Structure 1
Amino acid sequence: MDTRPREMLGEHYIKSRLLKYDFEIHSELSYDKGGADFMVTKKIDRTKLNYIIIQSKSREIKKSTSVKIPKQYVNKNFVLFVYLINPKKEENLFCFFHEDYHIFKDTGSEYILHINENKINFLQEGHTFDQSKAEKINSIFNELQRKKYTSIIIDGFFLEESIIKTYEIYTKIWKREFQTPSLVYLAEKINSYFNRFSNNFNDIAFYLYISKDQNLKKHILLDDKFNNFSMKESFAKIFTTYTDKLIPFHIMNDLARFKQSDNIILIANDIIYEHFLSNLEIDPQSIIVARLKTEDRPHEMFVKYRWQDITYPIGLALGLKPFEL
């Protein structure tokens, strides 16, 4: 018996229901990718997109039927749709996510779902494709878009200026000298103050660019051998680059490389970055920019991203107490 007409009917029915909820469908697959009959996609930017694999199964049910899925296909961005039609032409559409396979029989290499009339009644209660299941697919996209890493990118000139200004401000206020901060201690304070991302317990990389023409070592303790440390549930590593090239070129290159994979904390603030940042294709919620809030700073840039004041973590690293800032 030729089952292709039924399979086509089921796939078209599934696609029509997905289109109802405004999903973009990509059907032109030249090969089977992880069990995909087609994919639903969501654009990240002009050149990249996320996708969710859709496998469609169509069955004509009289007394009973079954669906088999290789276990290797099942993961967080794999969704199984099962279209059922009975002799009375009554239709049901069910969908299953990676956490739903406990209702399948596990044979070791595949999952099998046996379906009869009683099972249909059960499936209708919790697995019918509807608005709530469409929202669940959208939540998978949100999870795929959530970035798993944080990069803290530091312009050595801006850091030096910020340390000097912060030291001057609080020396005038408190009339006392302060300790020279270590880079590691300052990095910990920058992360704890700036890292406001929802998944802020991921691994963190600090990229510090120091010009060979500057004297940052006069204002901060640098130990190139001690550059790995732990913070709460995160592991952090500092990468220090000494360069005779313009630091903004290094930083703009990092921003372009990391914009899709990482949350970014940018410890750099100068109008030289303004045009580049204004045209950067990135989720505005995935970048935080440092500012140095002083009245005599003429080169403060204006961008659409969230910002925080760099003097607070520097003040803590200098030895000030939170109530003194």
Structure 2
Amino acid sequence: MLQEKDTSRLEYTAEDLISHKLQQSRILVAKPKFDREGTDLLAFLEMGDGVKFCRIQCKGRSLANSESSQVNLPKSYITEGFVLFLYVEESANVSGLYCFFQTDFQNLQYWHENIKGEYSLNISRSNGFVA
């Protein structure tokens, strides 16, 4: 059996799980028909005039067949209205869901700037991602 390099299955799983969790928390979720500034989902608390929303990027990574993975984000995505949700799968039965806000990207414990000027996060079992 060929090992699949395409991460789209995991990305769709992550997006569906994140959308489900937000809706369970009574947050309204919309799937935009565009891909700008890392926007996979839009989240709203209410739908009235002057509505406020946040842009959500959903990332999925697997540690099932490797010791580590990485997430890179352009710095321009990171604004007050941006949230990153990261779904990390260690195996079929062990996974974790992590949430990062604007202030979290300055946390040098996890995030760092790579040579392309992006925010970069190294993911591994040894640095606390997934049990």
* Bigger relative contact order (CA 8 A; separation at least 6): 2
Q: Which residue does the alignment assign to 2:34?
A: 31
Alpha-carbon RMSD across the aligned residues, in angstroms, is 1.9
Matched residue SS, 1:52: strand
Q: Which of the pair is proportionally richer in helix?
A: 1
Is 1:118 aligned with 2:126? yes
Matched residue SS, 1:12: helix
Partner Cα distance (1:88, 1:23) in 2: 28
1:27-81 deviations in Å (ceiling 9; x for gaps) = 1x22223210011013362x44211000000011131101011100001110000
Gaps of 5+ in 2: none
Q: Which residue does the alignment assign to 1:8?
A: 12
Gaps of 5+ in 1: 125-325
1:260-283 deviations in Å (ceiling 9; x for gaps) = xxxxxxxxxxxxxxxxxxxxxxxx
Normalising by structure 2, report the TM-score.
0.83
CA contact 2:72–2:120 (8 Å) conserved in 1: yes
Is 1:40 aligned with 2:48? no
Normalising by structure 1, report the TM-score.
0.35
1:115-167 deviations in Å (ceiling 9; x for gaps) = 1112125x88xxxxxxxxxxxxxxxxxxxxxxxxxxxxxxxxxxxxxxxxxxx
Identity of aligned residues (%): 26
Q: Runs of 4+ in structure 1 displaced over 2 angstroms?
A: 42-45
Partner Cα distance (2:12, 2:120) in 1: 22
Q: Which residue does the alignment assign to 1:81?
A: 85
1:4-35 deviations in Å (ceiling 9; x for gaps) = 111111111111111121100011x2222321
1:183-242 deviations in Å (ceiling 9; x for gaps) = xxxxxxxxxxxxxxxxxxxxxxxxxxxxxxxxxxxxxxxxxxxxxxxxxxxxxxxxxxxx
Partner Cα distance (2:24, 2:128) in 1: 23
Q: Which of the pair is proportionally richer in strand?
A: 2
Instruction: Work out which of the residue numbers 98, 104, 117 in structure 1 matches 2:111.
Output: 104
Larger radius of gyration: 1
Partner Cα distance (1:17, 1:3) in 2: 21
Matched residue SS, 1:66: strand
Number of positions where the alignment pairs a residue of Structure 1 with one of Structure 2: 121
Q: Which residue does the alignment assign to 1:18?
A: 22
